[in-house]
Structure 1
Amino acid sequence: MIVDDHEIVRRGIAEIVDRAEDLKVVAEAATVSDALVRARLVNPDVMLVDLQLPDGTGIDLLRALKAEGSKALPIILTSFDDDTAVSEALQVGAKAFVLKSVRGNEIAEVVRQVADGQVLLDDRTITARKNDADDPTASLTPSERKVLVLIGDGLSNREIGEKLGVAEKTVKNHITSLLAKMGLQRRTQVAAWVAGQRAASWRTPRDN
């Protein structure tokens, strides 16, 4: 199954994959919502998923499918090389991470190898993921780190937006992203995490 909001890219990949005798495209989608519906219907073995979609991200889609018990093997397809994206992709079970600049015959080969159970990730990717496991904030952007601190200070989304000079919607987007990266579900969990970190840093041994 191919999920990409650019029809030309999607159709181009479909043509390449269908050209292979041992591969078949069973569905296409351009949005997260559409992809969720179609994936449930066709139960694909492998999914080529773009990171940037109109109503969310490929990570959002794969996380939702994983929660439903989908066995589809994800391949992340993107037009840029982003270490943060690689880390998030691994968290949702990505088996390969390929740039859209890859040659057509190579895409078919990646699909084939992932379908055969192979994981196509380089040493840099695996090392980055191990490092992230030690620090849940390792993959946060500078803006997300600022929002994290301000949540810990007890500021509302509106107050954070005013302090950083950005729209409240932007703050909400940052919070959604940092929650996903830290493996948390609610804003209150972020505040509790920050409080715990501050308590640990302030704690000193008692005098004898």
Structure 2
Amino acid sequence: MLDTATGPIRVVIADDHPVVRRGLAALITSIDGLEVVGEAADGASAVRETQLLRPDAVIMDIAMPGVDGLEATRRIVAAVPDVAVLVLTMHDDDDTVFAAMQAGARGYLLKGADQDDIAHALRAVVSGQAIFGPGVARRVLGYLSSTPQAPGVVFPELTAREREVLDLIARGSSNATIAAQLHLSPKTVGNHISSIFAKLAVASRAEAIVRARQGGLGRT
């Protein structure tokens, strides 16, 4: 996670429309604490720019020529897992939303979001939270609440390790305590927590604890 005391949040913008890229760049650079360090016109370029520049976040469009935004997100998450991907797209259908989540995006906003929404989303995903636009969030929560769970397994969308981490979060453990107990690095714990937040569509540790306890985790 970024320590904002060390400098601004560094952002790469990936969108195949030059006018959109320029508009986003102007918007972001006008906000204190945010800085555009690179741009990409397609998914392959987005991956290269991210690996080269190591920004804190990538604003990712979905529909781009060649490698699309979903595949670019998967490649970025695999190669540079500390970089937060924030999807900004016109697509609000269920398949695209959930594909972006599965690819590892930490946030999903629709184009038309205002300056404050984009700034808030960037800061949130860089700090390890998952964030979705209001309509997208309702869809995600509705989908997850209606998805049947496998018998005997709570939160089957999580990996076994993520369930362990979530259980410890629900017990009130800090990241440092979780790292020590599970013999993981703090960075790995942070990555697991980001994935948990995205899969459960929660935006804070408190929300994750509520969901976990509702599912029976975190109990002694």
1:86 counterpart letter in structure 2: V
Please, which runs of 5 or more residues in structure 2 have no aligned partner? 1-11, 151-220
- Does the 8 Å CA contact 1:87/1:129 hold for their aligned counterparts? no
1:130-149 equivalences under 5 Å are none
2:22 counterpart letter in structure 1: R
Please, which runs of 5 or more residues in structure 1 have no aligned partner? 136-208
How large is the Cα RMSD of the aligned pairs?
2.1
1:128 counterpart letter in structure 2: Y
CA distance in 1 between counterparts of 2:32 and 2:14 reads 21
Counterpart selection for 2:76 from 55, 65, 83: 65
CA distance in 1 between counterparts of 2:41 and 2:103 reads 20
Name the residue aligned to 2:40. 29
Answer yes or no: is 1:16 the counterpart of 2:58: no
TM-score, structure 2 normalization: 0.56
1:52 match: secondary structure: coil
Counterpart selection for 1:49 from 50, 60, 65: 60
- Does the 8 Å CA contact 2:56/2:82 hold for their aligned counterparts? yes
Note the C-alpha offset of 1:106. Answer: 2.1
- % identity of equivalent residues: 32
CA distance in 2 between counterparts of 1:45 and 1:126 reads 27
Counterpart selection for 2:115 from 104, 117, 121: 104
Name the residue aligned to 1:84. 95
CA distance in 1 between counterparts of 2:78 and 2:149 reads 24
Note the C-alpha offset of 1:131. Answer: 5.9
Q: 1:59 to 1:110 in 2, by over 3 A?
A: same
Answer yes or no: is 1:124 the counterpart of 2:139: yes
2:31 counterpart letter in structure 1: A
CA distance in 1 between counterparts of 2:149 and 2:38 reads 38
- Does the 8 Å CA contact 1:16/1:108 hold for their aligned counterparts? no
Answer yes or no: is 1:5 the counterpart of 2:11: no
1:125 counterpart letter in structure 2: V
Which structure has the bigger radius of gyration? 1
TM-score, structure 1 normalization: 0.59
1:21 counterpart letter in structure 2: D
